[in-house]
Amino acid sequence: MHRILALTTLLLPAHAFAAPMRSPAEIVAQAPDTAWRSVAPEHLLIMKLADGKRIVIELAPDFAPIHVANIIRLTRSNQWDGGAITRVQDNYVVQWRVHDEAAPLPEGFVAHPPAEYERPLDGLTYVRLPYPDPYAEQSGIASGWLVGREGARIWPTQCYGVVGVGRDMPPDTGDGRELYVVNGEAPRQLDRNLAVVGRVLAGMEYLGALPRGTGALGFYTDERQNVPIVSIKLAADLPSAQRPVMQVMRIESQSFRDYLAARAARQDPFFIKPAHGVALCNVPVPAREK
């Protein structure tokens, strides 16, 4: 009988024993406080649109430090205030710009940053995603960011909610005064072609629902269609009562391991046939506002 049991065990897929029965959302909701890290307010942008709509963006200084420093300088010199969202292309990107592209550049601004498109893995915590990736030798999560990997090099990937720097033709790499966020199926053909500077942690539902532009590339055809940006501020510069406390799940936590396993093989009751695999951009690192 033991023998038969052992044989049955071999025939059953591993997840029948080990995998969580909770949904990813349940795992996230039940994660203990120790599974979360708070984002430094020096790396959080608070974007305000009309009607109190607020978008919170975590910056990515580990990946594009010079571009991120430029964006912080623009923020501290109030150059986003009165800016505008000028482009919304369905299933691609939402793009915005500073108030006045002819305004003097802030002190220390790097007019022609290098192409900060990839970096060595060195020094970052890394969790490999054990599924094939059509865009990279390997993919995973490095210090909380979804990345592609080739040898010892990694790059942040262009997933839903990821913020990047608009640029003209190469070798121009953009200076940070035009930013975009991905609003559809991950355009990962952009990986290593544009600098990733952050990701939306809250408020993506406002950017996702903006009217699509009818001009070429989704630009609005009339300035009156532009969506005004009331302001973009660094959380560190706000009075502490107004600072959101944003937390991102620690990738080294058991909750994150459970979340990854559940995303890749849904065992919760709605699912008949778990996939046993998942695309990188379909495992966004969970975030919450405390």
CB of 40 to a second copy, least distance (A): 26
CB of 259 to a second copy, least distance (A): 13
What does the angle CA 79 – CA 57 – CA 181 come to, to the nearest 5 degrees?
Answer: 85
Q: Please provide the DSSP assignment of 81-105 as one string.
A: TT-EEEEE-TTSEEEEE-S-TTSPP
Q: Which residues are within 8 A (CB) of 176 and not within 5 positions of it... i.e. 6 or more apart? A: 67, 70, 71, 74, 113, 165, 197
- Answer whether the bond into residue 171 is a cis peptide, omega within 30°: yes
CB of 205 to a second copy, least distance (A): 4
Q: Rounded to whole angstroms, how far apart are CA atoms 227 and 77?
A: 21
Q: Residue 109 or 160: which CB sits closer to a second copy?
A: 160
Q: Residue 241 or 272: which CB sits closer to a second copy?
A: 272
CB of 220 to a second copy, least distance (A): 13
Q: Residue 126 or 206: which CB sits closer to a second copy?
A: 206
Give the residues across from 57 on adjacent strands: 45, 200
Q: Residue 189 or 240: which CB sits closer to a second copy?
A: 189
CB of 90 to a second copy, least distance (A): 4
Pairing of strands 196-202, 178-182: unpaired
Q: Residue 41 or 274: which CB sits closer to a second copy?
A: 274
Q: Which residues of the shown chain bind a second copy in the complex (CB under 8 A)?
A: 88, 90-91, 115, 117, 131-136, 159-161, 169-171, 183-189, 191-193, 204-205, 208-212, 263, 266, 269-275, 277-282
Closest CA to 37 of 258, 252, 196: 252
CB of 26 to a second copy, least distance (A): 13
Q: Residue 74 or 190: which CB sits closer to a second copy?
A: 190
| H-assigned helices in the chain | 2-11, 15-18, 24-30, 65-76, 204-208, 254-264
CB of 65 to a second copy, least distance (A): 20
Q: Sheet with 287-289: list strands edge to edge.
A: 36-38, 246-249, 287-289
Q: Rounded to whole angstroms, how far apart are CA atoms 194 and 175?
A: 11
Q: Rounded to whole angstroms, how far apart are CA atoms 115 and 193?
A: 8
| Owner of token pair 């909610």 | 161
Q: Residue 82 or 130: which CB sits closer to a second copy?
A: 130
